Chains A and B, each alone.
Chain A
Amino acid sequence: MASEDIENKEYDALIVGSGAGGGMAAYVLATAGLKVLLLEAGRSYDPVKETPMFNLPKDAPLRGGSTPEKPFGFYDATVDGGWQVPGEPYTQGSQEKGRRFDWWRARMLGGRTNHWGRISLRMGEYDFKPYSRDGLGFDWPISYQDLAPYYDKTEMLIGVYGTNEGLENTPDSSDGVLLPPPNPRAYELLAKKACDKLGIPVIPSHLAILSERLDHENIPQKLFPDNKLAQDVTRESMKSRAACFWATPCGRGCSIKANFQSTTVLLPPALATGNLDIITDAMVREVTVDKKGKANGVVYIDKDTRQEKFASARAVVVAASAAETSRILLNSKSTLFPDGIANGSGVVGKYLMDTVGAGVGGQIPALENMPAHNEDGASAMHMYMPWWLYKEQLRGDLNFARGYHIEFGGGRSMPGAGAFGGMGDFTEGAYGKDLKKACRRYYGSFVWFDGRGEMIPNDDSYCEIDKNQVDQWGIPVLKFHWKWSDQELNQAAHMHKTFAEIIEGMGGNVTTTVQTDGAKAIINGGAIIHEVGTARMGSNPKDSVLNPYCQSWEVPNLFLTDGAPFVSNADKNPTLTIMALAWRTCDYIVEQFKKRNI
């Protein structure tokens, strides 16, 4: 391409961020024929070339263990990311215990999709109308039915294994959408047996991992009945993805593209349309507006030259991750928008949410001295427990209003950093041949249960611009304010009690402290990395930032497609919903272009 062509290139849409929401926006808009420019704050990254699939822990520094620079271990696919990013600080409104929000970022192409657990749960009917159900929090302006077709499409595109169980508020997918789940492991079946007695359902997990290859002959036609370009690029992309071979950890990335990453599933077909350009190492500072109050582009810092640059387009889609998106909006001050673009309501930055997390571990004598067998599987859980006490909660039998699901792990996974580190205390000081015998005996007999629960949005959890600090790019940073309510604390205590019951039901012994005080059980805000909210959608411009299509009420060519539009944060992990919502928003954007409204 000659340079004059580039300088004359006019973009229809400019997208900020390349993760779940930005990657999906790039895919949907580019396949629809729009000319798209995508800016990513981190470096370019290709899992096909950069994933250490079979490397052993001993091949890495510290056996691959956690360090301040790689908090999820050396081999975690996240590069230039973590709860702290050098040169990009953020501040806290309070240092009190339980008042911090730890902000995870991934500065790389594909963002957090390179790292996430691939747990893909649909929000249900109750989750979109929580206020109507119990009078707490807020209702979404859309219902489950509005999003259901996009859940189907997203699951077909990315490939999700699981089953339809017909359980309350745990939606089924349409027939033929889900891939078959892998067989359960021994400890998963043992947990199911214990949970059966406790009335807790244990069903196949839904993970964005290909248990078999996608039906590339038929799915593209179903996804895009009238769009040959979209069908062609999607078909070729699907052909390039192999099925899981049930070895190697997904968190490293996947060079055979069996698991979902924006960098292997969304961006390659979008690029193949010829309609997408990507600039990496482009840290966006603000969205700019013209005299009429429409967005006309963004100012970004080119990290290579450390200079500000400008990129323009007819529409701007921000998907930088919830808090970063609000940071960009709040930093976009102009005479028309003195409090930040699209912030006439004053709601930008408000109602920040994470997922409630708490966990308990145990040791199960029945699992000792098992014959050697392979329990790698999908490197994440094959089964999980959806929330089950809806009726009790509605009756007011529990001291918290919203549910949690249970994720669990254990078994004979590959020993890594910390392997058998607790064995000294567990055996009262064994060493020598006794220690070796103990390791053989107890290997595979430890289990861990984690709760992932709904947080109700509150006035005390929000982010704002810290007037006293900028980052190394000269951009004012965020200050976080955080507070759990009794709803979350009571829920965390309930998690601990439940997990102890399951472990005891498995004939096991709890190995960690079971807290009755929720404040001691609950994990820090931000630790679960399910940051959503801060620019919610609504039905009234006075108390929301976006209309039901994630379009700014005030700036009609500005859209958000990450977790920022979330009105509530159900216990369901948010990524699938971010992608389904982004697809729906982008269909609407294309429609607006066709109607010449943008």
Chain B
Amino acid sequence: MSKDKTNLSRRNALRLIATTAAAVPVIGCSEKAAPKVELKEDKAATKPAVKNLDAPKQTLARGTPTDPDLLNPVVPWEMQLDARELAVLAALCDVIIPADEISPSASSVGAHHYINEYVSAPYSNNKADLVTIRGGVVWLDGESRRRYQGPFVELNESQKNAICEDIKWTRNAKPEFQAGARFFAKVRVLVSTAFYTTEEGMADIGYVGNRPMASFPGAPPEVLKRLGLES
């Protein structure tokens, strides 16, 4: 949620709660590092070769794929799509999720960049999707030129929609549009994730959580009434 809707930013609220709870220093998690101990390794191993005692040393994330820095996430792979491909995807993102009176369009919150991040990931599923997306972009531009003599990004709204009508659902798309429909379905899935995981998308559907509160209120009375659950 946007920070201006509450007096406390989330992080400050967290800090406040954490400090008031810990009136006493947190045991066993003190900042002091355990003393570094040099060991003589040439002795017979009859005693434990203990190296860091009392408390384990405070190692943090190692920055590997199985142990990334959770507090400071980074995308560790290179992006694969080029500017021209991204421009086509941005235009398609906005056909799938356009701006309306409630929220902005998908491309304005960077949905096409998320698609790039997704298809560039080094995992087998993502690599397969990279082929689908790249091939789909070529097909979409080709189809635009065949029908309207121009690239997809230069088509007007009704021209874009006319193509999308033919590929909007794999189950009833004509055989010649099946590949386009599979491409469209994949983009729709990725755009949905991209858009609804932003503050703008969350606000659009009325997600109002992720804010600290003293007690959990449960279902509000108007909701219970609509469900016929009033006690």
Contact = CB atoms under 8 A, between A and B. Distances in A.
A467 interface: no
A53 B194 CA distance: 21
A233 interface: yes
A190 B103 CA distance: 31
A79 B205 contact: no
B121 A67 contact: yes
Given A9-B48, A57-B197, A370-B226, A182 B210 contact: no
Contacts of A189: 219, 224, 227, 229
Nearest to A39: B48
Contacts of B71: 50, 52, 55
A268 B29 contact: yes
A37 interface: yes
Given A240-B22, A311-B49, A414-B207, A435 B96 contact: yes
B138 interface: no
B216 A246 contact: yes
Given A279-B52, A376-B209, A81 B216 contact: no
Interface string B33-64: 00101111001011111111111111111101
Given A246-B213, A268-B26, A312-B48, A3 B37 contact: yes
Interface string B203-220: 011111111111111111
A255 interface: yes
A56 B197 contact: yes
A44 B49 contact: no
Nearest to A8: B47
Given A268-B29, A436-B97, A424 B219 contact: no
A79 B66 contact: yes
Contacts of A271: 27-28, 54-55
Nearest to B77: A61
A405 interface: no
Nearest to A107: B66
A255 B46 CA distance: 39
Given A6-B53, A109-B56, A256-B17, A63 B114 contact: yes
A274 B53 CA distance: 10
Nearest to B161: A432
A255 B18 contact: yes
Contact of A417 (B55, B96, B197): B197
B59 A233 contact: no
A268 B220 CA distance: 39
A309 B14 contact: no
Interface residues of B, number: 104
Nearest to B213: A246
B184 to A, nearest CB: 8
A248 B210 contact: yes
A249 B75 CA distance: 22
Given A50-B60, A240-B24, A279 B50 contact: yes
Interface stretch (A68-76, A346-354, A453-461, A516-524): A68-76
B39 A69 contact: no
Interface in A253-277: 255-257, 267-272, 274, 277
A55 B212 contact: no
B28 A374 contact: no
A474 interface: no
A62 B17 contact: no
The size bracket of the interface on A is 35 or more
B83 interface: no
A213 B62 CA distance: 33
A418 B46 CA distance: 54
B73 interface: yes
Nearest to A245: B212
A74 B169 contact: no
Interface string A292-323: 00000100001000000111100000000000
A424 B189 contact: yes
Contacts of B95: 431-432
Contact of A75 (B59, B62, B70): B70
A49 to B, nearest CB: 7
Interface string B148-176: 00000000000001001000110110000
A302 B96 CA distance: 54
A366 to B, nearest CB: 6
B10 interface: yes
A56 B46 CA distance: 50
B128 interface: no
Contacts of B23: 239
B61 A79 contact: yes
Contacts of B172: 428-429
A63 B202 CA distance: 13
Contact of B56 (A44, A61, A79): A44
A418 B118 CA distance: 12
B180 interface: no
Given A3-B39, A371-B220, A74 B68 contact: yes
B85 interface: no
Given A268-B28, A436-B100, A419 B192 contact: yes
B48 A371 contact: no
Contacts of A420: 192-193, 196
Nearest to A443: B205
Nearest to B229: A189
Given A68-B123, A189-B219, A271-B28, A63 B70 contact: no
A44 B48 contact: no
A421 interface: yes
A431 B48 contact: no
Contacts of B48: 9, 11, 37, 279, 297, 309-312
B229 A278 contact: no
B58 A44 contact: yes
A414 B164 contact: no
A198 interface: no
B216 A377 contact: yes
Given A44-B59, A186-B223, 18 more contacts: A56-B198, A61-B75, A61-B121, A186-B227, A189-B219, A240-B27, A242-B21, A245-B213, A247-B212, A272-B27, A274-B54, A374-B208, A415-B202, A417-B197, A419-B197, A428-B172, A429-B171, A436-B100
19 contacts: A1-B35, A43-B59, A50-B71, A52-B71, A54-B210, A67-B65, A186-B229, A236-B27, A240-B27, A246-B212, A246-B215, A268-B29, A371-B206, A371-B223, A374-B211, A418-B189, A419-B193, A428-B169, A433-B98
Interface of A: 1, 3, 6-9, 11, 37, 40, 43-46, 48-65, 67-70, 74-75, 79-82, 85-86, 109, 182-186, 189-190, 193, 213, 233, 236-237, 239-242, 245-248, 252, 255-257, 267-272, 274, 277-280, 297, 302, 309-312, 366-367, 370-378, 412-421, 423-425, 428-433, 435-436, 439-440, 443
Interface of B: 10-11, 13-14, 17-18, 20-24, 26-29, 35, 37-40, 43, 45-62, 64-68, 70-71, 73-76, 95-98, 100, 102-103, 114, 117-118, 121, 123, 161, 164, 168-169, 171-172, 184-185, 188-189, 192-194, 196-199, 201-202, 204-220, 222-224, 226-227, 229
Nearest first, the 3 closest Cβ-Cβ pairs linking A and B are A183-B218, A429-B169, A372-B206
